[in-house]
Structure 1
Amino acid sequence: MPRRRKNSTTEVKTLPTPVQEQLLIDAVCPLLEEQTAEIRVLCTTLSRGQAAAALAAVCPTALVTCHFLDAYLAELTREFAGASLNFETACSAEFPETPIDLAVIPTHSGVEPELTRDRLQSTHQALVEGGRLAVSTNDPKDSWLHELMQSMFDKVTRIATKKRGVVYIARKTAPLKKLKSFEARFTFPDHDRLITIVSRPGVFCHRRLDDGARALLKVVEVRDNDRILDMGCGAGAVGLALAARNAKISVTGVDSNARAVWCAEQGVAANELANFNAVHTADGSCEEEGSYDLFLGNPPYFSNYRIAELFLQTAVRMLKPGGEIMIVSKSISWYKQRMAELFDDVGTAESGHYIIAGAVNRRRRK
């Protein structure tokens, strides 16, 4: 069993705890210290589940689930938190269906407000009657989150700290009178047909086609029997469009975001495709290494190229000898240098405001 925490303000392990999670630790842990009955707790995290781990430690009778949309972040949190009898991680497009007694949700002011609305609505639905929601923001002058909470609960307690942020705690007394759908559908033209995309909050480029994807589609050409791997596929725009162009190819879209994979699967149905498969994976790996003809990627710009490196290493493993890689980016210098170390025949092509870096997988590894 995890040791009880002597002081609820103690930081969890050594990784810096986001202020939003520390505020929740300070506000919620005292409420659980005398808890003796079993309760189910649902948490999200902005880092490695520090608030969730703290709640599990202070209340051994709490069954704490830290939920993720992203499999890679869930994996990192499992490594960070270690084994515990009353702490687990879950990764899925939706919150677990098990009714919960307490939900603890940290938020970042101004970041993905539609996702915050979506998750708080889902949290309210998951709470048992009498269950409590504790939510935090790093904005000490917040009014937006306060108003959102007041629209969902009869009474909201506000706990403010100077210069750090705010915690709101509320108890569910009745179901919501009206539920809002945050799912979006949009179309874009590609060759001779319209492609339908299904997207949801938390998925890259929700409600719109990313310009990088548009640039990549302008230059990609496919051949009969090509096997294509679209890494970080998001809602699947690139892969779905290519699959629609040629029924004789097969496309695998992989993403670490469970909700993105769900959206891609909905896109398969919406476009009536039989040659696109969506795979949920933390690192881009899937079956049959060394069997793909074309690898496509639009890596995120953050993480100091750590994720970009993961894309390239995955391409090395998954491509056939002589298979091609194409990466789209606005800043291409790092890719040109690194791809020259891993691949042959590196070249670039402009597409709108973007540059496509292409190369060929080596027939023999050096």
Structure 2
Amino acid sequence: MDNKTLNFKTSDKVFSPKSIDKGTMEMISKVEFNSEDKVLDLGCGYGFVGIYASKIAGVEKVVMVDVQDKAIELAQQNIEINNITNATLIQSDGFKNMFETGFTIILSNPPYHVDFAVPKNFIEKGFNRLTVGGKMYMVTKRKEWYKKKFISIFGGVKIWEVDGYYIFMGIKNSMKYASK
């Protein structure tokens, strides 16, 4: 991480309130950000990933999305606390109320302790929101289902395993559209 300081308000009503989740940190350590990137923080929680991309990585545009009222409230406060000017915050259940496209990077630490409905939607719909050459990163503690899903949608996947976490990266190599 850069020597810039980020500050966050959190709550026990959102994911990982006491510190940044280790899986999330491992995921962003694998990303090569460029200033021209357009980044989607999908399931942003209180906003760490999007704010990091904006402030530390210096990307051109960041869109942050979450379904929870409390997450949106905290992310908005954290955008203001960290003086972020190039981020858009949208309350949406995945892509239902989020219509932007042209992302070069999509980052997500989806809920993976329940069923696969949310990550399935994120991967399938996320593919269609990426530019050709755009990358989707996702971190989970499960491997096989995600590996198969990334391969079925992206045609391949790169996987890193770090301390019980799996970081997946799919690259959109063509204009094909995901099924469903």
Find the aligned partners of 2:80 and 2:138 in 1 and give their Cα distance. 27
Higher strand share: 1
Contact 1:294 1:324 in 2 (8 A): yes
The answer to whether the aligner puts 1:265 opposite 2:79 as a matched pair is no
Point out which structure has higher relative CO (alpha carbons under 8 A, 6+ apart): 2
Shift of 1:329: 1.3
Which residue in the other structure is 2:34 paired with? 223
The answer to whether the aligner puts 1:353 opposite 2:164 as a matched pair is yes
The answer to whether the aligner puts 1:232 opposite 2:43 as a matched pair is yes
Contact 1:256 1:284 in 2 (8 A): no
Find the aligned partners of 2:107 and 2:20 in 1 and give their Cα distance. 16
TM-score by length of 1: 0.46
One-letter amino acid of the structure 2 residue matched with residue 269 of structure 1: E
Q: 1:50-74: CA deviations, max 9, x gaps?
A: xxxxxxxxxxxxxxxxxxxxxxxxx
Moved over 4 A (4+): none
Give the 3-state SS of the residue equivalent to 1:196 in structure 2. coil
Q: Rg: which structure is higher?
A: 1
Contact 2:39 2:59 in 1 (8 A): no
- What is the RMSD of the two structures over their aligned residues, measured on CA atoms? 1.7
Give the 3-state SS of the residue equivalent to 1:243 in structure 2. helix
One-letter amino acid of the structure 2 residue matched with residue 287 of structure 1: F
Shift of 1:272: 1.1
* Aligned residue pair count: 176
Aligned counterpart in structure 2 of residue 287 of structure 1, from 70, 74, 99: 99
Question: Which blocks of at least 5 consecutive residues in structure 1 are unaligned?
Answer: 1-189
Contact 2:7 2:78 in 1 (8 A): yes
Which residue in the other structure is 1:323 paired with? 134
Give the 3-state SS of the residue equivalent to 2:115 in structure 1. coil
Identity of aligned residues (%): 24
Q: Cα distance 1:205–1:288, how it changes in 2: closer, same or farther (>3 A)?
A: same
Find the aligned partners of 1:255 and 1:248 in 2 and give their Cα distance. 20
Shift of 1:313: 1.8
Q: 1:70-107: CA deviations, max 9, x gaps?
A: xxxxxxxxxxxxxxxxxxxxxxxxxxxxxxxxxxxxxx
Which residue in the other structure is 2:8 paired with? 197
Shift of 1:236: 0.8
Q: 1:138-179: CA deviations, max 9, x gaps?
A: xxxxxxxxxxxxxxxxxxxxxxxxxxxxxxxxxxxxxxxxxx
Which residue in the other structure is 2:148 paired with? 337
